[in-house]
Amino acid sequence: MVRIFDGHNDFLQRVVAAGAGGTDLWLKGDGTGHLDLGRMQQGGLAGGFFAIWIPATEGFSDPDAQQKMENPPFHMPLPAEIPADIALPQAFAQAAALLALERTGTLGIARKASDLTDLMDQGRIAAIMHMEGIEAIRTPDDLHLWHAAGLRSLGPVWSRPTRFAEGVPFAFPASPDIGAGLTQAGRAMVTECNRLGIMLDLSHLNEAGFNDIAALSDAPLVASHSGVHAICESTRNLTDRQLRQIADSKGLVGLNFASSFLRPDGKRLPLQDLGVMLRHLDHLLSILGEDGVAFGSDFDGALMPQDIPDAAALPRLIGAMQDHGYGEELIRKIACDNWLGVLRRTWKG
């Protein structure tokens, strides 16, 4: 079975919601959501980024949001930044949940690049602690504390604005060129992430913020779970210009499995043709090359394609790639090795 490493999941929210039963949810599953230990093992998913994400206190203000997202065009404004005193306890709870999974012995938190292969070779899930939207971090000193706890990847925004940057609203068809660039605090955070070797994740960031990080950062540019704007004109997807900048930095894009960011019509309905995913992969490969493309599923955080309802179904995607003519080496790179390579180039130690 092909070993797979994934750029994004939101499983920790489910663990926290399960309370005292969180580790049982991980170990035994309950038939809901997109992943747990058993389904990861069944699908060959050997590791990935486990996101700390703070749910909005309120959703889209439009009561017809779901209907509109199923019938573009649409433009969904997002709530304001979540205050740090609300975000921090939730972030701690999700970090603690990941540590609890580590204590089961089935998963390990990778703090250096060599940990990733060591954990996978031991048969344990190699987990990266990632924070998506940094409302819970106020200062560079806070960042050092989180780094000591195991944080190795950080996205300045989850679409909502933060004191560091602005994200993109959920809109189709639309450009990611919406809003201002990094704030002064955001620029300082980029510098500190580079110093510590924390990966900066450009997914959800607007184009101006993307440009600022590209100019400031000395690390490879990475978008952990994004798609191709030339195929699906969602604000969440990357333009060819952005892809070329990522390629120039020897960076990487993890293809998002979210149906609405794959479908050319932008509808929030299950994707029914894996050939569309292969079109995205082909386009990414044409610009980023064989070493710059990977997976970024967004399991437990998005609507999945019809043929990939959960992590156990990942071999279907691998099979589609084989049928499409991708060779064994290229599949191995996209499925796992490219993530390991970009993290070796980004992390310190």
CA distance 318 to 321: 5
Kindly report, residue by residue over 104-148, the tens digit of the pLDDT: 999 999 999 999 999 999 999 999 999 999 999 999 999 999 999
165 within 8 A of 129, measured Cβ to Cβ: no
Question: What per-residue confidence (pLDDT) applies to 79?
Answer: 81
CA atoms within 13 A on the CB side of 121: 5
Is a pLDDT exceeding 60 seen at residue 299?
Answer: yes
Nearest C-alpha neighbor of 136 from the set 170, 101, 94: 94
Question: What per-residue confidence (pLDDT) applies to 77?
Answer: 81
Mean pLDDT of 207-224: 98
Kindly report, residue by residue over 247-266, the tens digit of the pLDDT: 999 999 999 999 999 999 99
**Confidence category of residue 170, pLDDT binned at 50, 70, 90:** very high
Helix (H, G, I), strand (E, B) or coil at 252: strand
Report DSSP state, residue 336: I
SS3 per residue for 140-177 = HHHHHHHHHHCEEEEECCCCCCCCCCCECCEEECCCCC
Report percent pLDDT > 90 for the chain: 94
**Confidence category of residue 188, pLDDT binned at 50, 70, 90:** very high
